[in-house]
Amino acid sequence: MNRIERWSTAIGFCVLAALPLFAAAQAYPSGPIRLIVPFPPGGAAGLVGHTLGEKLKEALGQPVVVEHRPGAGGNTGTDHVAKAAPDGHTLLMGTNGPLVVNVSLMSKLPFDPLKDFAPISYLASIPLALVVHAGVPAQSVKDLIALAKARPGKLNYASSGEGSGGHLSGALLKSMADLDIQHVPYKGAGPALTDIVGGHVDMLFVGYVSVIPHIKSGKLRALGMATAKRATAAPGIPTVAETLPGFEIDSWYGLLAPAGTPPAVIAILHRATVNALQMPDVKEKLFVQGGLEHVGSTPEQFAARLRQEIPQYARIVKLTGAKSE
């Protein structure tokens, strides 16, 4: 076989190898897309999911049905996507609770965050605020710490579920300030917020924008932000780190598909997603309604973030002694 024949054969093999990817791209999407949000309605995950879903529908020409599947700290909905057909028609609105924190928080997960998913794009992060019910006599983080020390075992903190940013934030506050406070997990930010407004729990780390109406009404009081620096959405509120140096918990959202989804399909979804994140109405909606700072990334960057954060949060879980209840 001469050189030209070898080249022709090699090119032929490349064309044959590319045919399945081309076919996948041509056929996708062939029907409605389900976007699974592993938490109840009413939280930031739902806001991001519905906002993105509308834009994916416009870009892909197929209905995008946002389906809330709460339970087990986000594991129920996350596992549902892990076991779905890898054809791009079932997607996950992932968060760092089930994908990062729960790896260390729970003794066994029904899925592997690194092996069972194909990352598409990191989407956005949300600044968490430490809020207390108006009946809690604390005007600052320092006051709250002093109050908790004066009433050991009497105060509690709600969260949107095991492994959530709110759970880890409360556990980190408990550990760093050496407090005796109790964790009350809910199945989402919405139910947790409802109960703290009703005075059934004392404190909560939650997305800041979602509590602005309750702060204005006087039902809740914001004491600090869990961000390393003062948040753009709330520059007048000090960080918890200004009282407890080193305190920082991130809460983020990202889009993923089941592992094995064709690269051509991932590329289509990625392009539609990053384009959506650049739209002015999406930027405004995520920031104004959710206080979310949208980011966007390549699939490779998102995968690298997962690999990096799993051991980082393992150290936080170990430090706090947090565990699934």
Cα separation, 232 vs 14, whole angstroms? 49
CATH number at residue 56: 3.40.190.150
Containing structural domain, residue 225 = 128-242
Q: Return the closest-CA partner of residue 219 out of 237, 201, 240.
A: 201
Contact 96, 265 (CB under 8 A): no
pTM, two decimals, is 0.78
Burial of 2 (C-beta count, 10 Å sphere; 0-12/13-18/19+): exposed
Examine the fold and report which residue of 212, 242, 272 is the final residue of a domain before the chain moves on.
242
Q: Are residues 257 and 116 in the same domain?
A: yes
DSSP, collapsed to helix, strand or coil, labels residue 309 as: helix
Cα separation, 162 vs 105, whole angstroms? 8
Q: Walk along the chain (325 residues) in steps of 10 and give the mean pLDDT of each run.
A: 53 48 69 96 88 97 97 93 98 95 90 98 92 98 98 95 86 95 90 96 91 94 93 90 93 95 98 96 84 86 95 87 72
Residue 34 structure tokens:
């389900």
E-state strands within the chain: 33-37, 64-68, 90-95, 117-125, 128-133, 156-159, 182-185, 203-207, 220-225, 252-258, 293-294
Examine the fold and report which residue of 214, 242, 270 is the final residue of a domain before the chain moves on.
242
Q: Return the closest-CA partner of residue 108 out of 75, 82, 80.
A: 75
Residue 126 structure tokens:
């949300």
Does some domain include residue 271?
Answer: yes
Overall number of domains in the chain: 2
Strand 90-95 with 252-258, pairing: antiparallel
Does some domain include residue 207?
Answer: yes
CATH number at residue 155: 3.40.190.10
Does some domain include residue 273?
Answer: yes
Cα separation, 120 vs 56, whole angstroms? 13
Q: Is the dihedral of CA 128, 130, 134, 140 positive or negative?
A: negative
Q: Are residues 296 and 258 in the same domain?
A: yes
Q: Are residues 117 and 17 in the same domain?
A: yes
Q: Are residues 54 and 137 in the same domain?
A: no
E-state strands within 191-324: 203-207, 220-225, 252-258, 293-294
Q: Are residues 158 and 227 in the same domain?
A: yes
DSSP, collapsed to helix, strand or coil, labels residue 203 as: strand
Q: Return the closest-CA partner of residue 299 out of 243, 239, 257.
A: 257
**pLDDT score at 15:** 45
Contact 295, 124 (CB under 8 A): yes
Does some domain include residue 93?
Answer: yes
Q: Which residues of 203-236 are buried (b: 16+ CB within 10 A; e: fewer)?
A: bbbbbbbbbbebbeeebbbbbbbbbeebbebbee
Tokens 């594991």, residue located: 75
Does some domain include residue 3?
Answer: no
Contact 20, 47 (CB under 8 A): no
Q: Are residues 79 and 133 in the same domain?
A: no
